[in-house]
Amino acid sequence: MSIDTDRPVADLVTDDPRRARLLNDLGIDFCCGGQRSLAAWSEEIGRPVEDVVAALAEADRTALADSAVATARPAWADANVPELIEHILDVHHTYLWERMPAIRELADKVASVHGDHHPELIEIRRITTALLDELDGHLRKEEQILFPLTLQLTEAEAAGDRAPAFHCGRIANPIRVMLLEHDHAGEALAELRRLSNGYTVPEDGCASYRLLYEELEQLEGDLHLHVHKENNVLFPQVLELENRLAS
Ligand SMILES: [Fe+2]
Ligand SMILES: [Fe+2]
């Protein structure tokens, strides 16, 4: 597949989410910085855009060879708003609710045991704990406020009604808060990657140390994709829907 370097990088991941890992490795933020083009990002990371396109093409070829599925565009990329919300809840919110307690415990344990020799673990524990605290509140706000309001909009559209009146004013307001919180989470993940030296376990690291880094790296991958789906696929559709119903 040819790659248009003027397209937002978010679209490249929506077309094929297997590209997320490579973009991540290159330092290209496709979730919170997803509206910037591949050309702009290449300049930002100091790599010729032809090199980045070549790396993506190579990753596409490898992914295609590894996969029995001919097309990589996932069902969620073309899902409607209620389906997309259900997908995000099923896949990403469920994952976080399941893993967050264990990650918190592990970060605490590893910092307590190895913090003397590896002081970065103390900082990793602090950032991880703050990130998980923020995510706890963030998921609740989406589940209890933003997503139910969004479903009221889709129901109003189906019934041929105008946009309902919300206590928060327009739905753009809670979305703006979610976007800010996504930015915070992205910064925390970048800091964790830097402090852990790209999740490299030192030679004296025990099994718990290794497991913590595996869990944090998995959290990073999952959260990047989660934020991408909300920032670049779901929220633009919701804002468009609200505008349509208001006009
Ligand atoms: Fe979410
Ligand atoms: Fe979110």
Q: How far is CA 186 from CA 105, 181, 196, 223, in A?
A: 21, 9, 16, 8
pLDDT tens figures, 221-240: 999 999 999 999 999 999 99
Ligand 2 centroid to Cα of residue 188, in Å, is 14
Contact 10, 231 (CB under 8 A): yes
113 CA distance to ligand 2 centroid (A)?
A: 33
Q: Which residue has the tokens 């989410």?
A: 17
Q: Is residue 190 within 8 Å of 178, Cβ to Cβ?
A: no
**Domain definitions of the chain by residue range:** 9-66, 78-246
What are the b/e assignments for 59-77, b being 16+ CB within 10 Å?
Answer: bbeebeeeeeeeebebebb
Return the ligand number nearest the Cα of 143. 1
Across-strand partners of 37?
8
Q: Which ligand is nearest to the CA of 84?
A: 1
CB-based contacts of 215, cutoff 8 Å, min separation 6: 99, 102, 103, 106
**Residue 6, C-beta contacts closer than 8 angstroms, at least 6 positions apart:** 37, 38, 39
pLDDT, tens digit, 9 for 90 and up, residues 168-202: 889 999 999 999 999 999 999 999 999 999 999 99
| CA of 226 relative to ligand 2 center, distance in Å | 7
* Cα(6)–Cα(127) distance, integer angstroms: 35
pLDDT in tens, 18-50: 888 888 888 899 988 999 999 999 999 999 999
The overall average pLDDT reported for the chain is 92
Rounded Cα–Cα distance for residues 127 and 53 (Å): 34
In this structure, are residues 227 and 138 in contact, taking their beta carbons and an 8 Å threshold? no
User: Would you place residue 143 in the very low, low, confident or very high pLDDT band (cuts 50, 70, 90)?
Assistant: very high
Report the alpha-carbon distance of residue 11 to residue 35 in Å, rounded: 8
Distance 143 CA to ligand 1 centre (A): 8
Distance (angstroms) between ligand 1 centre and the Cα of 139 equals 6
In the DSSP assignment, the letter for residue 7 is S
- The model's confidence at residue 68, banded by pLDDT at 50, 70 and 90, is low
Å from CA of 177 to ligand 1 middle: 12
Distance 234 CA to ligand 2 centre (A): 10
Q: What is the dihedral of CA 208, 211, 213, 217, to 10 degrees?
A: -160
pLDDT at 24: 85
Q: Which residues have CB less than 5 Å away from ligand 1 (the ion)?
A: 142
Looking at per-residue confidence, does 126 or 70 come out higher?
Answer: 126
